[in-house]
Chain A
Amino acid sequence: MYIIIVGGGSVGYYLARTLVKTTHEVLLLERDRASHRRLAEELGEVVMQGDGCEVRIMEEAGGARADAVVAVTGDDEDNLVICQMAKRQFNVPRTIARVNNPRNEELFHRLGIDATVSSTKIIYNLIEQEIETGEVIPLAALKRGNIEIVEVEIGPKSPVLGRQVQELPLPQNALIISIIRHDHGTLPTPETRFEVDDSVIALVSADREHELRDIFAEPVG
């Protein structure tokens, strides 16, 4: 595949550096001359100086034969226009835009961009995941059959504290396979009681995951 990356900031630089080691053909476009010189010293001929919003530059860069254009500048309006021009003028099959303001993600899709990436949103989601206890964390998905292995931490307010495994109203297609207590994995019996800081490892079908969450989650507020 021929991939044109527009914007030689950190994202563009590392993306280009990663892609040149693959079998893909890569071109990194950077508008600023000083930045371009620095990038070219390290990455060599795959870096080109020019404004990716200019049709003339895209033409020179070979936009007509590009399989993907990735716009990763720091300005959402530039990323939008780069992708739209690539689509309209050069019929590039796949356009990917970095979105700095997460609220622009939906807008970009409506305006014809194939895929968007928002680091703000990704990091925010990770933080949310970290702070919620009683959250069901997927550890692995079994390749076939739609079954996941998940982990649930038992917090100090969990409604299952002191209760036995057999008392839980477990959904169908869910099975508690291990309880990790003080770094020791145990195979629970129906009589095993839950203690605080237990890590419960369970098998559950993906569509029943939320029911498992409801059983273990701490009451809100």
Chain B
Amino acid sequence: MNVIILGCGRVGSTLARLMYRDGHNVTVVDMLSESFRRLGSKFKGQRLVGNGIDEEVLKRAGIETCDVFVAVTQGDNRNIMAAQIAHEIYHVPTVLTRINDPVRADIYRQIGIHTICGTTIFSGLMRDFINTGVWNIAKDYNAEYLSLNV
């Protein structure tokens, strides 16, 4: 699959490494070239410096032919705008975005953008752990992350 990841922070870079290792064609876009250091030496996908809400940059990243578009920059509104460009203008089949504000996450989920809100997920997981003493996570993502460095 052709995958574009906007934002090369901790989440963006880790997702890029996982998807690359799974054999996908991955392009990462970030405003700062030094962010790409997080990708490490094994990542051989595309790196593109640019503003992810600029359509020219997104075209260069290959948005017209991409299957999955992920927006995980630091800014909720930046993610929202980029996700809408991918969804409404370029009709990318799968558009995922992180929105930390639960209210905004809910609103944009209703208009068809797959939204992950760290605020509600983390607080819910922690509350459940406090109550039950059990982590309600189906899979050991930490082990998978550690395996990236092997």
Residues of A within 8 A of B (CB): 53-56, 75-78, 80-81, 85, 88-89, 101, 103-104, 107, 110-111
The CA of A53 and the CA of B104, in the complex, are separated in Å by 9
Interface SS, B side: helix
A-B contact pairs, 18 of them (CB 8 A): A53-B76, A53-B77, A53-B104, A56-B103, A75-B77, A76-B81, A77-B75, A77-B80, A78-B77, A80-B80, A80-B84, A85-B104, A89-B107, A103-B54, A103-B56, A107-B55, A107-B85, A110-B88
Cβ of B102 to closest chain A Cβ, rounded Å = 10
Assess whether B116 is interfacial by the CB under 8 Å rule: no
Assess whether B64 is interfacial by the CB under 8 Å rule: no
- Report whether B54 and A77 are in contact in the complex, using a CB–CB cutoff of 8 Å: no
Q: Interface digits, B78-89 against A, CB 8 Å rule (1 contact, 0 not)?
A: 101100110011
A80: which B residues are within 8 A, CB to CB? 77, 80-81, 84
The CA of A85 and the CA of B75, in the complex, are separated in Å by 16
The CA of A103 and the CA of B53, in the complex, are separated in Å by 11
Q: Would you list the 9 A-B pairs with minimal beta carbon distance, nearest first? A: A77-B77, A77-B81, A81-B77, A55-B103, A77-B78, A78-B77, A80-B81, A81-B80, A77-B53
Within 8 A of A (CB), among B55-93: 55-56, 75-78, 80-81, 84-85, 88-89
Q: Residues of B within 8 Å of A, CB-based: how many?
A: 18
- Our pick among B53, B103, B107 for the contact of A76 (Cβ within 8 Å) is B53
Residues of B within 8 A of A (CB): 53-56, 75-78, 80-81, 84-85, 88-89, 101, 103-104, 107
- Report whether A54 and B89 are in contact in the complex, using a CB–CB cutoff of 8 Å: no
Cβ of B124 to closest chain A Cβ, rounded Å = 20
- Our pick among A54, A103, A111 for the contact of B101 (Cβ within 8 Å) is A54
The CA of A89 and the CA of B107, in the complex, are separated in Å by 8
Cβ of B63 to closest chain A Cβ, rounded Å = 13
The CA of A75 and the CA of B85, in the complex, are separated in Å by 16
- Report whether B103 and A54 are in contact in the complex, using a CB–CB cutoff of 8 Å: yes
The CA of A89 and the CA of B103, in the complex, are separated in Å by 10
A54: which B residues are within 8 A, CB to CB? 101, 103
Closest to A78 in B: B77
The CA of A103 and the CA of B76, in the complex, are separated in Å by 21
- Report whether B88 and A111 are in contact in the complex, using a CB–CB cutoff of 8 Å: yes
The CA of A88 and the CA of B106, in the complex, are separated in Å by 12
A101: which B residues are within 8 A, CB to CB? 54
Extra pairs beyond A53-B101, A75-B77, A76-B53 (12, CB < 8 Å): A76-B81, A77-B77, A77-B78, A77-B80, A77-B81, A78-B77, A80-B77, A80-B81, A81-B80, A85-B107, A103-B54, A110-B89
B78: which A residues are within 8 A, CB to CB? 77
Cβ of B43 to closest chain A Cβ, rounded Å = 27
The CA of A77 and the CA of B97, in the complex, are separated in Å by 15
The residue among B54, B76, B84 with the most chain A CB atoms within 10 A of its own CB is B84
- Report whether A103 and B84 are in contact in the complex, using a CB–CB cutoff of 8 Å: no
Cβ of B35 to closest chain A Cβ, rounded Å = 18
The CA of A80 and the CA of B53, in the complex, are separated in Å by 11
Cβ of B12 to closest chain A Cβ, rounded Å = 17
The CA of A104 and the CA of B75, in the complex, are separated in Å by 18
- Report whether B107 and A88 are in contact in the complex, using a CB–CB cutoff of 8 Å: yes
- Report whether B81 and A81 are in contact in the complex, using a CB–CB cutoff of 8 Å: yes
B81: which A residues are within 8 A, CB to CB? 76-77, 80-81
The CA of A103 and the CA of B77, in the complex, are separated in Å by 18
Closest to B101 in A: A54
